[in-house]
Amino acid sequence: MSIADLIKNKFTEEFTAISVGSLVTTLALSFLLGVFVLVVYRLTFTGVSFSRSFALSLVMLSMVTSLAILTVRSNVVLSLGMVGALSIVRFRTAIKDPMDTVFMFWSIVAGIITGAGYVTVAILATLLLGVLFMLVQLFTGRLHGNSYLAVIRYEEKAANAVRSRVNSLGRFKLKSRSSNVDETELVIEAKLNEKQMNALESLLNVEGVSDVNIIGYNGSTLL
């Protein structure tokens, strides 16, 4: 018997049949883990426009990856073929937010662990990552308010009233301040609740304040 035949027989002997129960269990678990990743993504999303297709892709990524790993581990030949097939695939979809890449990788890893048969590790790791990430978001205050840019135009006689109202917001960041002969334009960044927005808008009742604009802001550096 030649060496080629020995290698071929060795690959054939290592083939493991995939039962229907194992297939259904793997897909069901990867689906649930993908849904959990989706829920965490939705709760912590801070972008301007929520993409439904991207959110659903997180679930599909987990399921497809688990199915691929489940198939690959059943036969060495399939694993080599899978590596060769994936090596020629090029993904050209642009990911604008780095956090979207993190969630995609999280979903893929959950699918890999599930497909490899480490059910307990997959469940505990996914839940622990989700809880820790939510705690980080809670700690930084991202779940308690959105960042806004407040643009206030006022005359010099209203400067004290504007300064007092802005200081009452607590933590804020001065983005710019420009002045001309007649007016001063103040741009600040802060996390505002409804009461604070109403307080800023009430500056319009102060003599000398000509304009108050509050704009939703996604590029916040304010923690």
Tell me if 63 sits within 8 A of 23, measured CB to CB.
Answer: no
SS3 of 118, please? coil
Residue type, 38: L
Kindly report the backbone phi and psi dihedral angles of residue 202, in degrees, each rounded to the nearest multiple of 5, phi listed first.
-70, -10
Q: Which of 86-100, 118-132, 154-168, 189-203 has the lowest mean pLDDT?
A: 86-100
Class of the domain covering 146-216: alpha beta
Angle between helices 159-167 and 194-201 (to 10 degrees): 180
Please tell me which residue, 78 or 153, carries the higher pLDDT value.
Answer: 153
Run of H or E residues at 164: helix 159-167
Please tell me which residue, 156 or 80, carries the higher pLDDT value.
Answer: 156
Domain residue limits, the chain: 3-140, 146-216
Q: What angle do CA 25, 29, 34 make, to 5 degrees?
A: 150
Two tokens, residue 216:
């939703």
DSSP for 35-104? HHHHHHHHHT--SSS--HHHHHHHHHHHHHHHHHHHHHTT-HHHHHHHHHHHHT--------SHHHHHHH
Contacts of 138 (CB under 8 A, 6+ apart): 144
Two tokens, residue 13:
């002997």
Tell me if 30 sits within 8 A of 65, measured CB to CB.
Answer: yes
pLDDT of residue 223: 42
Whole-structure pTM value: 0.60
Please tell me which residue, 171 or 132, carries the higher pLDDT value.
Answer: 132
User: Predicted confidence band at 51 (pLDDT cuts at 50, 70, 90)?
Assistant: confident
Kindly report the backbone phi and psi dihedral angles of residue 161, in degrees, each rounded to the nearest multiple of 5, phi listed first.
-65, -40
The candidate with the shortest Cα–Cα distance to 177, out of 158, 214, 152, is 152
Run of H or E residues at 185: strand 184-192
The mean pLDDT value of the chain amounts to 78
With 0-12 / 13-18 / 19 or more C-beta atoms within 10 angstroms meaning exposed / middle / buried, residue 78 is middle
Which residue has 């804020």 as its token pair? 172
